[in-house]
Structure 1
Amino acid sequence: MVWLRNCVRAASLLAACICCAGPATAAPLPLSAAAGTEAALTLQNLLDTLPAGSAATYQRLGLQAGPSVGHFYARNAYRPVWTQESGWNAQATEALRWLSEATRYGLRPQDYDYLLLRTLPDSLGPAPHSRAAGPLRAGFELRLTDALLRYAAHLEFGRLQPGSLAPAANEAARLAAADRLRHALNQGSLASFITGSQPAGRAYAQLLDAWQAAQDAACPEDSARLLTGEQALFRQVAINLERLRWEAAPDSEYAVVNIPAFELQLVRRGRVVQTHRVVVGKPEMPTPTLDSRIIVFVTSPEWRVPYSIAVNEMLPELQRDPGFLSDNNYELRNAATGRLVNPWRVRWQRVTPETFRYTIRQPAGRTNALGKVVFYFPNTHTVFLHDTPARAVFSRPDRALSHGCVRVEKPLALAAYLLRREGTEATLQPALTGPDRHTKRRFDLQQGLPVHLRYYTCAGDNGRLRTYADIYGKDQALLEAFFARP
């Protein structure tokens, strides 16, 4: 209630200033005749940052989005929009209802001063027409606008910064929200302001619809528990809506891998046109989240074993049995010359990761770890999508098993889809079944396809809420930052 005491103190001072025709330290900004009411003058004086400076002024008023609040009222000639002599008007009642329903959007009413704001009539007490009541109403007015602008910015871009998880301070988003709010009030539709502040992505809309459907379907007691804002399910939904708000506007057509769901979807114009089970990286070698574009795929690929796998996994096998390479159709080559090396002539017990001077390759064939096709997209993690000869793995519920790359069930359907977009689908089958089917062939894509690797532990599926295991333990840090007490 520190703000309320400050507001009462400011009200007394401002009332005296108004009686004396304005503050002595700075003349009020010019007002038009239409807006020259006492309420507008009160708002203008409260927002005047010249005497004390911006930071001190906004802190005294309890405003976290002070510049945007000032912008809103300056564009509105400082006319009040939420208050009248008796307290809140009908628009304010609707605005407070939107704040009270923040949990339906994965946010918390208490983060927007809802509990304080709804007490305006009680704060005015028995003297709603006193000289001090005007500035007090104006203080509440400013706080409600501040809350709505922060609410809109959080709906659009999230409460936290994606990298650091520090509180987001996107003043540009708040300024844009101020203009949208003025437009919505002029149109008499706060609903359009809330709707227009949210991401347009399919995954966001699906999760939001499923979460709200779960609340609507719950019995009153369960619904009340869901809406406390502290239950485990709400917390999981909230941080995944936060992740979705961090993302850029979606393309009209794209591939998306949800790592915890072990699933790849092809989405075209908001509709899923293909779904593939996938294998992702094991927890000690996690698949990264990223945005890129599939620009090429290769049939009958050769696998050049990464150095880390060669020395950490294959070297111990070779020290036990040099026949490991031939048993698995691998070739050993000199790293400097590229010449084939007979593994039986290497003293493997003396070889260490530091003295490993070889490359290991696996030619195309039935046992090749990349299978029949591999899909490449630029990224700094050297990960890609590919086929696998180990088909049985896709029937496992837990598929966090790879070294970081994504193994795709039905990869030929994905390849055919990519070529169909290029108008060259007929070229795929000869490369797979013709006389040169074991020869590597490269397919460059003129259009390419955006690909997104994501981490959602909660998602919407045709109106139903789906939750997934936090396989990489990413939720905890986000939960702690998102639900930290201010």
Structure 2
Amino acid sequence: MSLVTARPVLTRLAASLLLFASMVFVDVPSAQAQVTALKQSIAESAAKDPALAEFYKSRGYKPLWTSKSDAQRRRAFLKALGTAADHGLPVNRYDADQLANLFRSAKSARDMGRVEVEASKMFLQFAQDLQTGAVNPARVDSGIKRKPPRRDRLAQMIAFSKSSPRGYLKNLTPKSAEYTRLMKEKMRLERVLGNGGWGPTVGAKALKPGQSGAQVVALRNRLIAMGYMKRSASQAYDAELQKAVQLFQLDHGLATDGVAGGGTLAEVNEPVEKRLSQVIVAMERERWMLPERGRRHVLVNITDYHAQIIDNGKVTFKTRSVVGKNDEDRRTPEFSDVMEFMVINPTWNVPRSIATKEYLPLLKRNPNAVSHLRLVDNRGRTVSRGSVNFSQYNEKTFPFNMKEPPSQGNALGLVKFMFPNVHNIYLHDTPSKSLFGRETRAFSHGCVRLSDPFDFAYALLARQEKDPVGYFKSRLNTGKETRVDLVEPVPVHIIYRTAVTQAKGRTQFRRDVYGRDAKIFNELRKGGVALRAVQG
């Protein structure tokens, strides 16, 4: 080869070597530097969050959201975030549009690392809120003793990273039938709100059958708008309107007398916004509950003043109840536990708060006051009242316990149902039967009194005794305190719901007797929950 022909070849070879050099020493290091910078940014951004720091470390700081192969995951998550308002969640915590803009605008490795971790933080917040609630119950009201079953954040990230994004996000939604029905009711009420609500309120203080006039028409029109009766031109409080009022009263826990008294009209006049907020709070409360309630369980809804036995999703027993009075130290708490036994002919061990706050002042004035109660020292010995100077004691120094022996007049009645708990709450009989006839039944010191405690006992014992009635009465007739263990312990759920759906029929609404729902909605509203009005 001559030098003349070789020169172009050498020139091309030199050019190739230069190109190779540039690829080796410029492009490749540049790509590696980008990867290194991204990993370093992810590590720095996640450092203050132990769960995310461990998650990204375990995967060598490989991104979950920001690589080209993560497009499907990004789309699925952004779509899920768009449903937050449908679930009544605080949307200010996870703005889908803001996150989408961050994904689009992130160009440098450092920015992509920040967006990567921000997306994971948002995912964890959304997943927790949708699965187990957006509000911490204990911070809202001291009477809410529930601890939602929060999933470990690291475990959540690992599970999500190994799952189909769309399927995983879909499965975050609570699976209970109640939640599904509440969500449908929320959407229905949003449409009612979008269409202007239920019309003018009723201005009368009370209305009854036989009356007529503008306010009767206002009542009729409002009940028509709510779906309790068909359209009518009648101006009279006739039989048709009376039936509609009774149906409304039944759905709102009111005495079904067909008379639109002050209490009934107050509920009739509640705006759509109030009912919508109740449904949103009920959805939040449903998220707090464990998904498995028990094939057989006892359900006490404080606001409904009833106790039920539920078998395989159906109510098999129901009785009226009396719950705690709306005083700071008497309100019935919300919690779940397991009923283990019942006590027939129980002794009432007077709670110390009652003994010192209610009975000690009486004993100071008259040592023979509340004579049906025994005074007992710390060794369990009965103490003669004549030997005690009650005036020397106060709430903190009172050294005695007080007990009421089994009897017909015992404060606990003739049977109590125990699910041992730190709150000292249980279900029991009562000699004060007249209270069960009242519409509102918040009178106790916190425990739940039952209107039909014997029947309740028979229903529980039927699972383990051939003759539950005979078995119960034989123990009762001894007059002695007798413990009867349940062969199959039964979960007990004391809940507080002012909106409850039915498998068939309209949603039931109750008054916020302790004001707890108002507190919960206020917390949700702070996070961005708003009442939506949907047209159509």
Instruction: Give the TM-score of the pair, scaled to structure 2.
Output: 0.62
Q: Give the alignment partner of residue 39 of structure 2, picking from 29, 37, 49.
A: 49
1:119-175 CA-to-partner distances (Å, cap 9, x unmatched) read: 799x89xxxxxx979x9999999988876665344211233455568xx88343344
Distance 1:141 1:53 in 2: 7
Q: Is the 8 A contact 1:458 1:468 kept in 2?
A: no
Partner of 1:295: 340
Partner of 1:127: none
Distance 1:143 1:79 in 2: 17
1:35-92 CA-to-partner distances (Å, cap 9, x unmatched) read: xxxxxxxxxx99x323x34243899xxxx98987997986899444658xxxxx9x94
SS of aligned partner of 2:283? helix
CA shift, 1:399, in A, is 2.8
Partner of 1:420: 462
SS of aligned partner of 1:479? helix
CA shift, 1:388, in A, is 0.9
Partner of 2:481: 440
CA shift, 1:366, in A, is 1.9
Q: From the superposition, tell whether residues 360 and 433 of structure 1 become closer, same or farther in structure 2 (CA, over 3 Å).
A: same
What amino acid is aligned across from residue 328 of structure 2 in structure 1?
E
Summarize the alignment of residues 181-260 of structure 1 with structure 2, pairs less than 5 Å apart. 181-182=164-165, 184=166, 193-201=168-176, 203-215=178-190, 219-220=194-195, 235-250=277-292, 251-260=294-303
Distance 1:325 1:253 in 2: 40
Q: Is the 8 A contact 2:65 2:71 kept in 1?
A: no
Structure 2: runs of 5 or more not aligned: 1-22, 141-149, 199-272, 530-536
Bigger drift between 173-182 and 300-309 goes to: 173-182
SS of aligned partner of 2:422? coil
What amino acid is aligned across from residue 263 of structure 1 in structure 2?
H
Bigger drift between 411-420 and 210-219 goes to: 210-219
Q: From the superposition, tell whether residues 264 and 195 of structure 1 become closer, same or farther in structure 2 (CA, over 3 Å).
A: farther
User: 2:409 matched to 1:367?
Assistant: yes
User: 2:148 matched to 1:107?
Assistant: no
CA shift, 1:294, in A, is 0.7
Q: Is the 8 A contact 2:299 2:309 kept in 1?
A: yes
Summarize the alignment of residues 443-458 of structure 1 with structure 2, pairs less than 5 Å apart. 443-458=484-499
User: 2:130 matched to 1:155?
Assistant: yes
Q: Is the 8 A contact 2:130 2:172 kept in 1?
A: yes
Partner of 1:39: none
SS of aligned partner of 1:24? helix
Bigger drift between 98-107 and 73-82 goes to: 73-82
SS of aligned partner of 2:341? strand
Distance 2:416 2:62 in 1: 57
1:296-349 CA-to-partner distances (Å, cap 9, x unmatched) read: 1011112122232122212223344455434xx3334555462362x4675555
CA shift, 1:290, in A, is 2.8
Distance 1:219 1:261 in 2: 29
Q: From the superposition, tell whether residues 102 and 435 of structure 1 become closer, same or farther in structure 2 (CA, over 3 Å).
A: closer
Q: Give the alignment partner of residue 323 of structure 2, picking from 280, 303, 319.
A: 280
User: 2:523 matched to 1:480?
Assistant: yes
1:158-199 CA-to-partner distances (Å, cap 9, x unmatched) read: 33455568xx883433443444443x4xxxxxxx55542122
What amino acid is aligned across from residue 172 of structure 1 in structure 2?
A
Q: CA RMSD in A?
A: 4.7
Q: From the superposition, tell whether residues 284 and 359 of structure 1 become closer, same or farther in structure 2 (CA, over 3 Å).
A: same
CA shift, 1:104, in A, is 2.1
Bigger drift between 368-377 and 152-161 goes to: 152-161
CA shift, 1:236, in A, is 4.5
Q: Is the 8 A contact 1:177 1:197 kept in 2?
A: no
Partner of 1:402: 444
What amino acid is aligned across from residue 291 of structure 1 in structure 2?
S
Distance 1:288 1:205 in 2: 26
Aligned residues: 413
Q: From the superposition, tell whether residues 268 and 380 of structure 1 become closer, same or farther in structure 2 (CA, over 3 Å).
A: same
Q: Is the 8 A contact 2:350 2:402 kept in 1?
A: yes
CA shift, 1:430, in A, is 4.5
Q: From the superposition, tell whether residues 435 and 399 of structure 1 become closer, same or farther in structure 2 (CA, over 3 Å).
A: closer
Partner of 1:34: none
SS of aligned partner of 2:358? helix
Q: From the superposition, tell whether residues 160 and 477 of structure 1 become closer, same or farther in structure 2 (CA, over 3 Å).
A: closer
Instruction: Give the TM-score of the pair, scaled to structure 1.
Output: 0.67
Summarize the alignment of residues 62-211 of structure 1 with structure 2, pairs less than 5 Å apart. 78-80=67-69, 82=71, 92=75, 98-116=80-98, 150-163=125-138, 170-182=153-165, 184=166, 193-201=168-176, 203-211=178-186
Q: From the superposition, tell whether residues 119 and 305 of structure 1 become closer, same or farther in structure 2 (CA, over 3 Å).
A: closer
What amino acid is aligned across from residue 43 of structure 2 in structure 1?
S
What amino acid is aligned across from residue 289 of structure 1 in structure 2?
E
Higher Cα Rg, which structure:
2
Q: From the superposition, tell whether residues 66 and 322 of structure 1 become closer, same or farther in structure 2 (CA, over 3 Å).
A: closer
User: 2:385 matched to 1:379?
Assistant: no
SS of aligned partner of 1:382? coil
Q: Is the 8 A contact 2:500 2:509 kept in 1?
A: yes
What amino acid is aligned across from residue 438 of structure 2 in structure 1?
R
Q: Is the 8 A contact 2:47 2:53 kept in 1?
A: yes
Q: From the superposition, tell whether residues 68 and 365 of structure 1 become closer, same or farther in structure 2 (CA, over 3 Å).
A: same
Q: From the superposition, tell whether residues 277 and 445 of structure 1 become closer, same or farther in structure 2 (CA, over 3 Å).
A: same
Distance 1:289 1:415 in 2: 22
Partner of 2:435: 393
CA shift, 1:99, in A, is 3.5
What amino acid is aligned across from residue 484 of structure 2 in structure 1?
F
Q: Is the 8 A contact 1:82 1:141 kept in 2?
A: no
Partner of 1:128: none
What amino acid is aligned across from residue 427 of structure 2 in structure 1?
L
Structure 1: runs of 5 or more not aligned: 1-16, 30-44, 84-88, 125-130, 185-191, 224-230
Q: Is the 8 A contact 1:280 1:399 kept in 2?
A: yes
Q: From the superposition, tell whether residues 292 and 132 of structure 1 become closer, same or farther in structure 2 (CA, over 3 Å).
A: closer
SS of aligned partner of 1:154? helix
Q: Give the alignment partner of residue 501 of structure 2, picking from 456, 460, 475.
A: 460
